[in-house]
Amino acid sequence: MEALFAVTLGVLTASGIYLILQARIFPVVLGLTLLSYAVNLFLFAMGRLAGGVPAVIGRSAEYGDPLPQALVLTAIVIGFAMTAFVVVLALRSLGETGTDHVDGQEPGK
């Protein structure tokens, strides 16, 4: 199971990386979103994986590691704020330069 999880994370990362290497803004934003999924899962996995052990006192015999969960929870919300900021920055750049190329100008100009 661990191997499968690791490979999945690898695929998420690879897809994200491929997308952020693209020239247009929207694929880059998609890539960032994929990367943040991967990063959040990665941080979460640092507390190791186990089923049925939520970190709620009294609900189970053992507890999962609550610390990575707390970290990731805020990371998800901040990730949304960051994505929104990037999107708006991209919109602003689209409005100012008239192109959605990441360099702010069409290639060859």
Q: Reduced to 3 states, what is the DSSP secondary structure of residue 55? A: coil
For 34, counting Cβ atoms within 10 Å of its Cβ (0-12 exposed, 13-18 middle, 19+ buried), the class is: buried
Query: Where in 8-47 is the site for other proteins (CB under 8 A)?
Result: 8-27, 29-31, 33-34, 37-38, 40-42, 44-47
Does the protein bind other proteins through residue 91 (CB under 8 A)? yes
Provide, rounded to whole angstroms, the least separation between the CB of residue 35 and other proteins: 10
Provide, rounded to whole angstroms, the least separation between the CB of residue 97 and other proteins: 12
Number of residues this chain uses to bind other proteins (CB under 8 A): 85
Residue with tokens 């994929």: 34
Both tokens of 25, joined, read 């803004």
17-20 own/partner pairs: CB under 8 Å, 24+ apart: none
Query: Where in 50-89 is the site for other proteins (CB under 8 A)?
Result: 50-59, 63-67, 69-70, 72-74, 76-85, 87-89
Provide, rounded to whole angstroms, the least separation between the CB of residue 24 and other proteins: 5
Residue type, 50: A
